[in-house]
């Protein structure tokens, strides 16, 4: 049948709204045609990825500047993924000068296109939170999976240019996860291990991601908090390309019981995941918390542990600028930075050029962070609980997990919605 455009969409394609919009509509139409969509759908929001100069390089930077010069402008709420530097104090934190200059040009191009400079992978924590059933066009795999699974919004896995094109046109192809039939579970996962720390949810995400590939897992046997869901999905998307999951009795499209006749797999223990994800590093150059970007609750927990102490190695808590500002008001940033840590904004350990900053060994409580750090940031990685990571920050060395110690000893924060921690 082919892709049918409305009058307004055809006008955009014909250049009536300017060259920037025309270029964007050409991308949206090309993708719609490739994916066999018969129409476009209007979106309520976009999350634009492809921001770090480390990934964009000169070609990507010039592409963005050209679009900005042609007058491309977002027509929906559009937020931005992290870039490669903390925009508030790049020199003080040791980000390379030339890299910073180029990163600032990237950010300026997005500003000119009307994208909100949130520079965070957790737009849903800072105001871009589409509601159940709403169509949107999000880049950033961890945000996409959260939007689909936890918010019940509908987005495909958009790339940087396609999310930007969707923001500029306010449209995306009506296919994939926008359609009911593609949101049904394709496999059932029974979790029999006891999950205590957020890192356990990251480990579970890695295991389920490998099992599910690009399918839609339905998970039973867990009661995650909002932050647990954040880390669970991020890891699943990293290890398997999952863009939507359901947790029975927790996520909005899994209120009832699992559909019958799904292929079922049981996960008895996550110990193998920890064994596979742990490198050999003993001395730790950087402890990284906040992948995806830390919530206020997570920052509060770290502050509670390091308050009044002296860290022996670098500790980064990566978060959104808005979240950092609130944590600062509460005194938590001061607690962490007085101990020698950094509450870093606008970037993270994967998209920042940390190898060029002399960092070779890293500890993290994030499944996604541990998955990507060796290949994307050249790191020898340690993956464990928040307790273990903060102990590493305090001593400079990785503490081995003691048998049976996978318990949450840093108390869970109160959560607003989803499920009790």
**Applying CB under 6 A, which residues contact ligand F3S?**
82, 121, 142, 234, 291-293, 318, 348, 350-351, 368-369
Please identify, using beta-carbon distances, which residue of 369 and 413 lies nearer to ligand F3S. Answer: 369
Cβ 185 to ligand F3S shortest distance, Å: 24
Please identify, using beta-carbon distances, which residue of 99 and 218 lies nearer to ligand F3S. Answer: 99
Cβ 202 to ligand F3S shortest distance, Å: 11
Cβ 134 to ligand F3S shortest distance, Å: 22
Please identify, using beta-carbon distances, which residue of 151 and 350 lies nearer to ligand F3S. Answer: 350
Written in H, E and C, the secondary structure of 87-155 is CCCCCCCCCCHHHHHHHHHHHHHHHHCCCECCCCCCHHHCCCCCCCCCEEEECCHHHHHHHHHHHCCEC
Please identify, using beta-carbon distances, which residue of 21 and 319 lies nearer to ligand F3S. Answer: 319
Please identify, using beta-carbon distances, which residue of 20 and 292 lies nearer to ligand F3S. Answer: 292
Calpha distance 396→335 (Å, rounded)? 19
Cβ 18 to ligand F3S shortest distance, Å: 31
Q: Closest Cα to residue 206, out of 220, 223, 221, 189? A: 189
Strands 187-191 and 314-319: unpaired
Cβ 237 to ligand F3S shortest distance, Å: 9
Cβ 87 to ligand F3S shortest distance, Å: 15
Say if CB 365 and CB 385 are below 8 A apart: yes
Please identify, using beta-carbon distances, which residue of 142 and 379 lies nearer to ligand F3S. Answer: 142
**Side by side, which strands form the sheet with 361-364?**
342-345, 314-319, 286-289, 361-364, 380-383
**Beta strands, E only, 183-291:** 187-191, 217-220, 246-247, 264-267, 286-289
Say if CB 384 and CB 273 are below 8 A apart: no
């Amino acid at each position: 049948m082919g892709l049918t455009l409305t009058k307004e969409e055809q006008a955009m394609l014909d250049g009536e709204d300017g060259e920037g919009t025309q270029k964007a509509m050409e991308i949206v139409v090309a993708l719609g045609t490739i994916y066999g969509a018969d129409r476009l759908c209007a979106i309520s929001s976009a999350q634009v990825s492809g921001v770090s100069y480390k990934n964009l390089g000169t070609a990507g930077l010039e592409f963005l500047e050209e679009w900005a010069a042609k007058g491309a402008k977002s027509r929906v709420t559009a937020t931005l993924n992290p870039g490669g530097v903390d925009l508030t104090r790049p020199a003080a934190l040791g980000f390379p000068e030339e890299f910073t200059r180029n990163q600032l040009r990237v950010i300026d191009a997005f500003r000119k296109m009307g994208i909100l400079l949130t520079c965070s992978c957790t737009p849903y924590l800072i105001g871009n939170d589409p509601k159940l059933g709403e169509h949107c066009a999000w880049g950033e795999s961890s945000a996409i999976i959260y939007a689909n699974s936890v918010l019940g919004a509908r987005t495909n896995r958009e790339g940087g240019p396609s999310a930007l094109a969707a923001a500029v046109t306010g449209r995306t192809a009506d296919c994939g996860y926008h359609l009911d039939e593609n949101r049904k579970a394709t496999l059932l996962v029974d979790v029999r291990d006891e999950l205590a720390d957020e890192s356990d949810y990251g480990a579970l995400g890695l295991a389920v991601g490998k099992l599910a590939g690009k399918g839609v897992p339905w998970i039973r046997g867990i009661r995650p908090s909002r932050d647990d869901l954040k880390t669970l999905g991020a890891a699943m998307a990293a290890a398997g390309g999952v863009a939507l999951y359901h947790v029975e009795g927790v996520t909005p499209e899994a209120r009832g019981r699992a559909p019958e006749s799904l292929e079922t797999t049981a996960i008895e223990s996550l110990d193998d995941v920890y064994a596979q994800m742990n490198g050999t590093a003993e001395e730790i150059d950087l402890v990284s918390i906040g992948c995806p970007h830390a919530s206020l609750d997570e920052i509060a927990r770290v502050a509670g542990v390091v308050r009044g102490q002296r860290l022996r190695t670098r500790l980064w808590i990566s978060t959104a600028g808005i979240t950092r500002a609130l944590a600062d008001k509460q005194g938590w940033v001061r607690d962490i930075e007085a101990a020698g840590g950094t509450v870093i904004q606008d970037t993270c350990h994967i998209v920042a050029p940390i190898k060029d900053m002399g960092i070779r060994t890293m500890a993290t409580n994030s499944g996604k962070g541990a998955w990507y750090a060796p290949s994307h940031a050249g790191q020898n990685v340690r993956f464990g609980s928040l307790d273990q990571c903060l102990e590493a920050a305090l001593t400079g060395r990785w503490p081995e997990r003691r048998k049976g110690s996978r318990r949450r000893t840093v108390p869970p924060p109160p959560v607003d919605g989803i499920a009790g921690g």
